[in-house]
Chain A
Amino acid sequence: MDENTDIKKDMEMVDDASASIDTIKQTLDKFLDTADVSAVYGQPIQNGDTLIIPTAEVLSGMGFGLVYGGGRDAEGDAGSGSGGGGGGRVLSRPVAVIIASTDEVRVEPVVDITKVALAALTASGFMMGMLLRMMGGPRASKES
């Protein structure tokens, strides 16, 4: 009777773990899909004689863990359980648009002005910071 109960509990533990592993496999498959060509080239859009294909850069990161196990309490009753967790993030940004007309195929870049302006501000911050520091240095030493 006790052995049967233990076997049942072990089977439940295996079922729980299998379900968790399946979920992780599905999530991992979706994660690996971001490395595919179809992730960066969008569905072509037909507009008259022109075909437009959007392109994007995709960045993704993911991590997860899973544990399962069993044991017995002081009275000898068996128990088991499993648990896991994970997290991830996918970032996407348009890069260019491919325009295919009857005459030619060309690539039109997409420029994110906000990101470029932030980079310019950061660069000017470096320069101004260095200039103020270096010009302030000798003056401060003369005064002292």
Chain B
Amino acid sequence: MAQDLIKLEVQAGNPITAGAKRIIPFSRSLRISFPGFSGGFIWNRPDSILVIDSDGQEQQLAVPDLTRIAQIAFIAFGLIVSFIIWLYFRPKG
């Protein structure tokens, strides 16, 4: 059986009952495995939740990773400002 090198999938978990509401959790996982190599790498993170009210109304709520967003924002800001500094001060001519 051929195994995928990279596999990205969204999975739904078992519904959780909270009072009159039902919560269905979703996770997003990335699996990387190399052919001829036993083992691999898995990155699994919460994606969103689906809240179903007693009257059947559905609401999807994202699960944001603020730490990751802030880290990426700071590093991107640092790289962009460094590039601007280089553009401004680079030797011309």
Contact = CB atoms under 8 A, between A and B. Distances in A.
By size class, the interface of chain A is 35 or more
Interface in B28-47: 29, 31, 37-46
B64 interface: yes
A115 interface: yes
A58 B85 contact: no
B21 A100 contact: yes
A40 B42 CA distance: 12
A63 B37 contact: yes
14 contacts: A35-B29, A44-B16, A51-B16, A59-B42, A60-B44, A62-B39, A63-B38, A93-B67, A95-B65, A107-B61, A109-B67, A115-B67, A116-B67, A122-B78
Interface of A: 24, 28, 31-32, 34-41, 44, 49, 51, 53, 55-66, 86, 88, 93, 95-96, 98, 100, 102, 105-107, 109-112, 115-116, 119-120, 122-127, 129-131, 134-135, 137-138
